[in-house]
Structure 1
Amino acid sequence: MRILIGALAVALLAGCTTPSDLLKGSPELSGRSKKDPKAYALCVYPSWQDYRSSSVMSETSTGYRIVAGSEMNGQTDDVLDIKKVSTGSSVKLYQRVAWQQLGRSDLKSSFNSCL
């Protein structure tokens, strides 16, 4: 029984996804905005809060990052990376399960409408 519980715990931990893990892959969406990173982040953030009230917006050394994840299993599901470029912002949306868009459509809508 102990072995079974230990194996289950290891399997659950192995499945955790962090923001860094998502940023290593290819973005689901990418684009450029004439807005500076803070203005763009403030434009899209309400949609992220509607999607997950636990969404977090933070300032990075190159711009802003918004992260949404599942509170139940500790998974990071979505990351929006907003970086300062000479013409405004470069924005990239990373999604853990990109094919599953249930409840996420507003994220993509705000991504495009705030450009």
Structure 2
Amino acid sequence: MKKRYLAIAALALLAGCTTSSDLLKKDPVFYGHTDHTPEAYAACVADSWRRQGEEVKVTNIDGGVDVTTSSVTGMTSALRVQRWSNGSVQIRMAARSSWGSQEQVQAANLCM
């Protein structure tokens, strides 16, 4: 029984170490382009996710913004908004669970 609790604690600790870049290596649950600036689009998504009760973190990255949500077990979804050299703004969202992120995907779509 002790081994089981130790294994669960180790998995929870490892899940907490996930970065947005790690999560974004997964197949996207949402993908698109927008005419908004990365900052304006990210602010819209972050506000929508907060209204859904999510714990949201917004981080500036090179050429854009990452918006992430997390729970007790670590990062649950990540949305990256980046401006490319040709001027287009690309949106890419990945989630640990695609079925649990549908409301977040809808909010990301409405902000476009």
In the TM superposition, what whole-angstrom CA distance separates every residue of 1:30-61 from its partner, at most 9, and x where no partner exists? 00001110111122111121234521111111
Are residues 1:13 and 2:13 paired? Answer: yes
Deviations 1:10-44 (A, max 9, x none): 34434546123211111111000011101111221
Q: For structure 2, which runs of at least 5 residues remain unmatched after alignment? A: none
Does residue 111 of structure 2 align to residue 111 of structure 1?
Answer: no
Q: Is it true that 1:51 corresponds to 2:52 in the alignment?
A: yes
**CA distance, structure 2, for counterparts of residue 89 and residue 12 of structure 1:** 34
TM-score (norm 2): 0.80
Q: CA RMSD in A?
A: 2.3
Percentage of identical aligned residues: 25
**Residue 2 of structure 1: how far off its partner (Å):** 5.5
TM alignment of 1:1-115, pairs within 5 A: 3-16=3-16, 18=18, 19-70=20-71, 72-73=72-73, 75-85=74-84, 86-101=86-101, 104-105=102-103, 107-115=104-112
Change (3 A) 1:15 1:9: same
Does the CA-based 8 Å contact 2:79-2:94 persist in structure 1? yes
**Paired AA for residue 39 in structure 1:** A
Q: Distance in 1 between matches of 2:109 and 2:33?
A: 10
TM-score in terms of structure 1 length: 0.78
